[in-house]
Structures are given as C-alpha cells and as structure tokens.
C-alpha cells in the first residue's frame, strides 16, 4: 500500500526547459563530472584520515538540496524567463558547493587558483541571479493576480478552488466573509446568491459533462459583470455566491437584477449543438457583522 505512492513520486515528471535547453539537468551533471575529472587529474587525493566528515555531509547536503530544488522548480513551473533565472541561480549555488565538496577529497597544488575562484565566485553569483529571478517572479505574480481578480481576495488557498469553475468554494467564501467582518472602517458588505432554474434537468437531458460546461460558462459570464473588488465563488451545485465588499442595499439590488438578466440571457450551446438556456434566480442580503461566515450563505440558499 505504501509502495505505490512512493513509486508514483519517483516517476519522472516532465521538466521545464531552462534557456530553451530541455536537457539542462544533464548539462549540469556533465559540468559536475567535468569538475570532478579536473580535480582528479590536477590534484592529489587526500588520505582517508584527512577527510572531514562534517564538511562532506554539510557541503554534500547543500549540493543535494540545490539539485532537488532545481528539479522541483522545473517540474512545477512552465519554462520561460522567470524559470530560467531561478534555475540558473540555483545551478550557480550548486556548482559552487560542488567545488567545495570536491575540495574535501582532493588537494590541488597552490599554483592552481581556478578552484578558489570557482568556490568563492559561483555561490554568490548564483545567489545574485536567484535574487534577480525572485524579483521577476514577483512581477509575474502581480500579473497572475490581476488575472485571478474577482476569483480570489486577500488570501490564496489552492485547495479551496473548485475544479470545474476555478472559483473558490463554500469554505473559501465563509473565510472571506469572516475577513470582511473583521475589517475595520468597512461600510458593510452584501452577499448575493444566484442559481439557474431547472439546472438539475440539464445533466439528465444533456449529460453531466454538458452541465459542468454550462457552469463554467456561467462562471465566466458572471466574472465579466463584476467590480474589481467583488469576489465570486461556486457555493455548491448550480449556486454561485457573490461577496460585494462595501456595497449598500441599492448597489446590491441593482447588481442582483443585472446579474439575473445576464445569466438568464446566457445561451450555452452543447457539443451536440443544442441550445441550453435557463432563467436565473437571485437573492441577496447584507452581510451580518455578527453571524458566523458559514451560516449566512445557508440562509440565502434556503431562500432560492
């Protein structure tokens, strides 16, 4: 039972290219082998009693960790500028430490300086490159956050995202309501809930895949109709919940009517070319500053 997840974890995962090189890892290994050959060829092997085991373990561990970080980074990110900077930085650190490790096993003649140069140059250089990479990463995050606007606010929690609509779920909504209640100087907030009338028959008549696609389309459509500070979540089933920070009754009522019209006007076309259109229902209430965040959507769900 324990073996299979372990094997799964060890299976090779696709690695992103670095600087366009798909075999960056192999290149790195080749460089390391080359350095080792240079040490073996130009240096004199230290006798066993001169090996300092603490240093070997410490510096070897650094090399290993840097290698793991590169692998994880390349398997979790798409290739591109940011990935390349980050990987090059880590590669620099890895090579610098590698020279350090080799130093423990071979003694190079005093006249040879390139190893000192590598040892004290590569690691700081790698750190510099890594820092530049992190700076680019921050810019990238900012761009991505703009794309996620109206889908997430204040906190990111990938486990709370619904797989079908890529919106936050009921749990995420409850925590956002709680955050909204705690915010000081806030002039109230409104909570809306929308549903599609007769949605349950869509899965029966057109299949579950079509019902899921309709939900996706509805999610996209609603997002387009929101203010930047609003948050849309998929509550459960065909219920979408909308948290509108700072919205008073007039704005909430106006938005409710507008979204109901937009959702009711959505004509989704199935893969078989059938037109699926369902009227929408909407209810809303002001966010209660006292009641727990998980309770408030329940009242709305009961009214729909």
Partner 1 sequence: MKAALLGLCPAPGAVYQLGTRCLVWEHQAVLLLEFARSRGLLPAELLAAAGFSSMPSLLSPQQLLDLLAALQAQLQAPDTAFVLGQLSLPGHAGLASHALAQARNGRQALELLAAHSARLSPLLTPRLLWHEDELLLIWTEACGVGAAQRNFVVDMQMSAVTALCQWLGGRRLPWRYSFNRSRPRDLSQHAVFLGADLQFDCQVDAMRVPAACLDEPWPRGVADSMAAQALAQGADPGAAGRGLLAALYDHLLPRLREAPTLEQSAQAFGVSSATFKRHLAQHGTHFQAQLDQVRTHWALYLLLLQGQSHERVAQALGFHDRSNFRRSFKRWTGLVPSLLA
Q: Minimum distance from CB of 41 to partner 1 (Å)?
A: 51
Tell me which residues in 7-66 interact with partner 1 (CB under 8 A). Answer: none
Identify which of residues 157 and 200 has a Cβ nearer to partner 1 in the complex: 200
Rule CB under 8 A: which of 132-161 touch partner 1? none
Options 35-43, 102-110, 207-215, 272-280: segment touching partner 1 (CB under 8 A): 207-215
Tokens 């956050």, residue?
145
Helix, strand, coil percentages for the chain (3-state, nearest 5): 60, 15, 30
**Residue 129 burial (10 A CB sphere; 0-12, 13-18, 19+):** buried
Cα(177)–Cα(244) distance, integer angstroms: 10
Which pair of tokens denotes residue 149? 């606007």
CB nearer to partner 1: pick between 24 and 172: 172
Contact region with partner 1 (CB under 8 A), list: 92-100, 120-128, 196-204, 250-258 = 196-204
- Token pair of 23, please? 């075999």
Q: Is residue 235 within the footprint of partner 1 (CB under 8 A)?
A: yes
Q: Does 197 bind partner 1 (CB under 8 A)?
A: no
Distance, C-alpha 246 to centroid of its chain: 28
What is the Cα–Cα distance from 8 to 26, expressed in whole angstroms?
22
**Counting contacts by CB under 8 A, is residue 217 touching partner 1?**
no
Angle separating helix axes 24-42 and 81-103, nearest 10 degrees: 20
Confirm or reject binding of residue 297 to partner 1 (CB under 8 A).
Answer: yes
Q: Which residue number, 133 or 219, has a Cβ lying nearer to partner 1?
A: 219
For 245, phi then psi, to 5°, come to -65, 135
Greatest alpha-carbon pair distance for the chain in Å reads 85
How is residue 191 annotated by DSSP?
E
Q: Report the residue from 143, 163, 224, 250 that binds partner 1 according to the rule CB under 8 A.
A: 163
Scan for tokens 């324990």, then name that residue: 2
Smaller CB distance to partner 1: residue 5 or 109?
5
Residue nearer to partner 1 on the CB measure, 116 or 201: 201
Q: Does 209 bind partner 1 (CB under 8 A)?
A: yes
User: Which region, judged by CB under 8 A, interacts with partner 1, from 48-56, 83-91, 136-144, 166-174?
Assistant: 166-174
Q: Looking at the chain, which runs of residues are DSSP E strands?
A: 44-45, 106-107, 189-196, 231-236, 239-245, 268-269, 275-276, 280-286
- Does 178 participate in binding partner 1 (rule CB under 8 A)? no
171 part of the interface to partner 1, by CB under 8 A: yes
Q: Which helix (H) or strand (E) holds 239?
A: strand 239-245
Q: Is 239 in the site for partner 1 (CB under 8 A)?
A: yes
CA-closest candidate to residue 241, choices 204, 251, 252: 252
Rank residues 35 and 203 by Cβ distance to partner 1 and give the closer one. Answer: 203
* Nearer Cβ to partner 1 (92/297): 297
User: Residue numbers of the site for partner 1 (CB under 8 A)?
Assistant: 163, 169-171, 174, 200-201, 203-204, 207-209, 212, 235-239, 294, 297-298, 301-302
């Amino acid at each position: 039972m324990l073996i299979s997840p372990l094997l799964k974890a060890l299976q090779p995962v696709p690695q992103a290219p670095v600087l366009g090189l798909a075999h960056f890892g192999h290149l790195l290994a080749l460089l390391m082998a080359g350095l080792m050959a240079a040490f073996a060829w130009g240096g004199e092997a230290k006798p066993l009693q001169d090996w300092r085991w603490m240093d070997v373990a410490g510096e070897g561990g650094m090399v290993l960790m840097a290698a793991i970080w590169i692998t994880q980074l390349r398997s979790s990110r798409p290739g591109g500028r940011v990935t390349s900077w980050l990987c090059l930085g880590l590669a620099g650190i890895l090579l610098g430490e590698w020279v350090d490790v080799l130093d423990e096993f071979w003694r190079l003649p005093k006249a040879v300086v390139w190893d000192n140069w590598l040892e004290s140059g590569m690691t700081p250089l790698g750190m510099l490159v890594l820092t530049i990479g992190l700076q680019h990463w921050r810019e990238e995050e900012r761009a991505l956050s703009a794309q996620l606007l109206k889908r997430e606010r204040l906190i990111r929690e990938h486990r709370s995202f619904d797989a079908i609509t890529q919106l936050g779920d009921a749990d995420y909504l409850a925590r956002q309501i709680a955050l909204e209640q705690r915010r000081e100087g806030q002039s109230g907030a409104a909570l809306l809930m929308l549903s599609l009338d007769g949605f349950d028959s869509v899965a029966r008549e057109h299949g579950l895949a079509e019902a899921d696609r309709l939900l996706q389309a509805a999610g996209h459509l609603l997002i387009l109709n929101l203010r930047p500070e609003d948050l849309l979540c998929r509550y459960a089933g065909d219920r979408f919940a909308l948290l509108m920070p700072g919205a008073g009754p007039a704005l909430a009522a106006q938005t409710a009517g507008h979204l109901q019209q937009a959702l009711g006007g959505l004509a989704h076309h199935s893969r078989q070319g059938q037109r699926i259109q369902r009227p929408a229902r909407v209810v809303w209430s002001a966010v209660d500053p006292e009641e727990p965040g998980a309770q408030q959507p329940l009242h709305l769900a009961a009214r729909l």
